[in-house]
Amino acid sequence: MTKMIKMDLYRFFCSVSTWIILFAIAALTFLSVVLVSMNTSIQPYSNAGELLAAQINGGTLMTLCAIAVIIFVSTKYKNGFIKNIANQLSRRELLAFPEIIVSSVACALYFFAYSTCSIVAGAVIFGNTFITFSFLDIIKLLIVQFVLHWSFCCLLLLFYMLTNSATVTMVIGFLISFKILNVIYALVERFSHFNIGQYMLDANIFQLGMASAKSVYIRAVIVGLIFLFVEIVLLCMVMHKKDIK
């Protein structure tokens, strides 16, 4: 399995789409910071940490991670390369792990690029005082958001394995990133007086900020890890049952 992971990582870093998305992340981050500085109706952020958290809450990074992971995985299945390697593993379910690991690497790479660009753009546009934030707080936020985003990517992987359609999966990913499920959570809360959103992956991504309480952070990590675990188990089950086409 480690050989397969090595192969997928090699392909990930050789792939043009990886670098195009990385470039898109850098450009979008700079652009959004410029737009924030120009828009007087937005309450100005006191530091780069707040700005970064708000941008992640916006769902842009979520959308880009979804695109990157789906493009990467679907190519292997669409062009049939998977047939060349599927019988190299002693257990079929292990085929899910290279995709899971690569999606974590993709998330980590994009998170690093996003946060670095955001902080640098903030410092350039708002001045050096803008980067006076607690480094530890930012790291904490990024780690928890990374777990949630990775889990989101694995959810999309699962959708892809079930539907065999990159288009359907991409649309599902976009709808979730565009906060469509918030409507459902609001309706559920209205009728049952129960806030289901706080136990869901996407709602936690949209809510978690620098000023969030410790309990919110802990809940977000637990939600992320539970989703991740369930998705990995389901992915393994799907891969075990699935015929490779």
Partner 1 sequence: MEVLVQTHNLTKQYRQHKVVSNVNLSVNKGEIYGLIGRNGAGKTTILRLLCGLAKPTEGEISLFGQKNHDMIYTQNRVGILIENPGVYPNMSAKDNVKLKCLAMGISSKGYIAELLADVGLSAAGKKKVKHFSVGMKQRLGIALSLVGNPELVLLDEPINGLDPQGMAEIREMIIKLNKEKGITFIISSHILGELSKIATSFGIIDKGELTKQILKTALTEDLEEYYLSLTGGIP
Binding site for partner 1 (CB under 8 A): 3-4, 6-7, 10-11, 14, 16, 75, 79-88, 90-92, 243-245
Among residues 145, 179, 222, the alpha carbon closest in space to that of 153 is found at 145
141, amino acid identity: L
In the complex, least distance from residue 171 CB atom to partner 1, rounded to whole angstroms: 24
Euclidean distance between CA atoms 89 and 50, whole angstroms = 45
In the complex, least distance from residue 7 CB atom to partner 1, rounded to whole angstroms: 4
Euclidean distance between CA atoms 19 and 25, whole angstroms = 10
Nearer to partner 1, 88 or 132 (CB): 88
Burial of residue 203 (number of CB atoms within 10 Å: 0-12, 13-18, 19+): buried
Euclidean distance between CA atoms 177 and 134, whole angstroms = 28
Among residues 168, 154, 170, the alpha carbon closest in space to that of 102 is found at 154
In the complex, least distance from residue 83 CB atom to partner 1, rounded to whole angstroms: 5
Two structure tokens written together for 212: 């969030």
Burial of residue 206 (number of CB atoms within 10 Å: 0-12, 13-18, 19+): buried
CB atoms within 10 A of CB 174: 15
Nearer to partner 1, 16 or 38 (CB): 16
Two structure tokens written together for 74: 């679907």
In the complex, least distance from residue 17 CB atom to partner 1, rounded to whole angstroms: 9
In the complex, least distance from residue 23 CB atom to partner 1, rounded to whole angstroms: 17
Chain Cα centroid distance, residue 11: 20
Euclidean distance between CA atoms 151 and 224, whole angstroms = 6
Nearer to partner 1, 31 or 244 (CB): 244
In the complex, least distance from residue 168 CB atom to partner 1, rounded to whole angstroms: 22
Euclidean distance between CA atoms 81 and 85, whole angstroms = 7
27, amino acid identity: A
In the complex, least distance from residue 79 CB atom to partner 1, rounded to whole angstroms: 6
Nearer to partner 1, 8 or 231 (CB): 8
